[in-house]
Amino acid sequence: MADMPNAIMNGLEVLKINNDARSLDGLSSVESLLPKLASKKHKIWIIVGLVVGSLAAVVFIALCYCCFIARRSKTSPQGHAWLALPLYGNSQTMTKNSTTSQKSGTASCISLASSNFGRFFMFQEITDATNKFDESLLLGVGGFGRVYKGTLDDGTNVAVKRGNPRSEQGIAEFRTEIEMLSKLRHRHLVSLIGYCDERSEMILVYEYMANGPLRSHLYGTDLPPLSWKQRLEVCIGAARGLHYLHTGAAQSIIHRDVKTTNILLDENYVAKVADFGLSKTGPALDQTHVSTAVKGSFGYLDPEYFRRQQLTEKSDVYSFGVVLMEVLCTRPALNPVLPREQVNIAEWAMSWQKKGMLDQIMDPILVGKVNQASLKKFGETAENCLAEYGVDRPTMGDVLWNLEYALQLEETSSALTEPDDNSTNHIPGIPLTPMQPFDNSVSMIDGVTSSTDDDGEDAATSAVFSQLVNPRGR
């Protein structure tokens, strides 16, 4: 019995040194665990190595690609890597199909949907066309930048608008201009030929308008003044362009900067609306306006838009009303040098129009040379455009019709005083012989017709209505 405690103790010792490996040797059990610990550390190092190696491979591939692109751009002078502007959605939605410029062979990353953006010009082509932006070729300076006359390799004259980095108008206006003009094509809108965004430049290339802005033909230059008929035709052309903007697209476009410097004349004095950098897509069918920050030119701003920051097509109508008064009175929209009541042409001209004395403030060159019925209709049209509230203003289509009517009155008056069938003023469809009694009520002042009573005005109006009814005359 004396050995029993020892036996029990031995049993405990066996249990104590026994391990999961069924080893009775404590040292050997520790050594058996070492391979497992080593294998785990080995796996961790393998994973770390794989991650580091993958990252190194990606970086190496990226560096090789960048070097390849840089080398290609240096060795190929005609190559140009251009990031397409996301004009029709974001860059992820644009198809990365490149189109090659037929003239320069420049590849540009442009989507198929935007292939009508026009030609992409390299900066070198622009400098060659403008003789390195020669100041003698300067056409004008606007909010976006300076405009130069240029000549392309094929002899085509163009207008080159170079963005000023310090201008308030920047990349947003640059994009808007390209987007709008790439979707719009109309005889009375200035066409965009192409653009350049190389070397951080923002350059737009337009068709060249030989006779420049309308304002230059009204005041401030030595250019010969426009006749009343020419002024009416210019206003009609601009109205057609604006009417197309408001109604010609799936969703209306509001110009937002209608003024005489943005109405350009080509070699035939055909008016075209220009400068779409501030343009805005109009309200949807279920909306009455577009809420946006006020932008435009002082003197032409719609007061309702200015107060409420609610933009509509009628804002363009108001601005166009200011243009009409500017055309008639040949003075700036705002002139702070004048007495207070005359500073704003809209307020000043409206006060005379409401008194029926608009002829007292018209361009002196036109005095005695304008048919009174035509002038009356013109004044009424301008007055309606300048109504305080947009709901009271006409649509651009109504403005266009009234201006065409004023032109018909002027042409009818000229035709009635010149019965020669070979006269260029004769309007086919209007019988001149039966209207001879009307000649007795028309006096000649310095070789120009002037209506002397209301009967003559009514006769001219009747003749115009007969012209409007006759489809051949329209």
**CA–CA dist 319, 326 (Å, integer):** 11
Lowest mean pLDDT among 232-246, 263-277, 283-297, 339-353: 283-297
Lowest mean pLDDT among 134-138, 142-146, 367-371: 142-146
Tell whether 350 is covered by a domain: yes
CATH number, domain with residue 137: 3.30.200.20
Higher pLDDT, 450 or 191: 191
The domain in which residue 139 lies consists of 91-207
Return the SS3 of 187.
Answer: coil
Cβ partners under 8 Å of residue 398, min gap 6: none
In the chain, what percentage of residues exceed pLDDT 90? Answer: 43
Tokens 């007795």 map to which residue? Answer: 440
* Whether residues 311 and 394 fall in one domain: yes
* Whether residues 254 and 365 fall in one domain: yes
pLDDT score of 54: 84
Active site residues: 257
pLDDT score of 45: 76
Tell whether 148 is covered by a domain: yes
* Whether residues 355 and 311 fall in one domain: yes
User: Would you say how long the chain is, in residues?
Assistant: 474
**CA–CA dist 426, 264 (Å, integer):** 28
pLDDT digits over 13-72, tens only? 555 555 555 555 555 554 554 555 556 667 787 788 888 888 888 888 888 887 777 665
pLDDT score of 25: 56
**pLDDT, mean over the chain:** 75
Domain boundary among 406, 426, 449: 406
pLDDT digits over 404-439, tens only? 999 999 998 777 766 554 444 444 444 434 333 333
**CA–CA dist 133, 157 (Å, integer):** 14
Strand partners, 109: 98
* Whether residues 382 and 239 fall in one domain: yes
Tell whether 368 is covered by a domain: yes
* Whether residues 240 and 387 fall in one domain: yes
Domain boundary among 179, 207, 235: 207
pLDDT score of 186: 87
* Whether residues 292 and 386 fall in one domain: yes
Q: How confident is the model at residue 102 (pLDDT cuts 50, 70, 90)?
A: very low
* Whether residues 159 and 197 fall in one domain: yes
* Whether residues 257 and 355 fall in one domain: yes
pLDDT score of 245: 93
CATH number, domain with residue 384: 1.10.510.10
* Whether residues 353 and 375 fall in one domain: yes
DSSP result, 67-107: HHHHHHHHH-TT----PPP-TTS-GGGS---EEE-TTT--E
pLDDT digits over 163-193, tens only? 877 665 667 778 877 877 777 788 999 988 9
Tell whether 152 is covered by a domain: yes
pTM for this prediction: 0.65
Tell whether 10 is covered by a domain: no
Specify the number of domains making up the chain.
2
**CA–CA dist 42, 34 (Å, integer):** 12
DSSP result, 34-63: HHHHHHHHHHHHHHHHHHHHHHHHHHHHHH
Instruction: Report whether 363 contacts 328 (CB < 8 A).
Output: yes
* Whether residues 375 and 312 fall in one domain: yes
* Whether residues 194 and 229 fall in one domain: no
Domain boundary among 181, 207, 233: 207
Tell me how crowded residue 465 is: count the other CB atoms within 10 A of its CB: 13
* Whether residues 191 and 311 fall in one domain: no
Tell whether 337 is covered by a domain: yes
Tell whether 273 is covered by a domain: yes
Q: In the predicted model, what is the mean pLDDT of residues 125-133?
A: 92
Tell whether 380 is covered by a domain: yes
**Residue 161 labeled ligand binder:** yes
Q: CB-hemisphere CA count at 13 Å for 309?
A: 4
Residue 112 has pLDDT above 50, yes or no: no
pLDDT digits over 57-100, tens only? 888 888 888 777 766 554 433 333 333 333 333 333 333 333 33
Q: How confident is the model at residue 380 (pLDDT cuts 50, 70, 90)?
A: very high
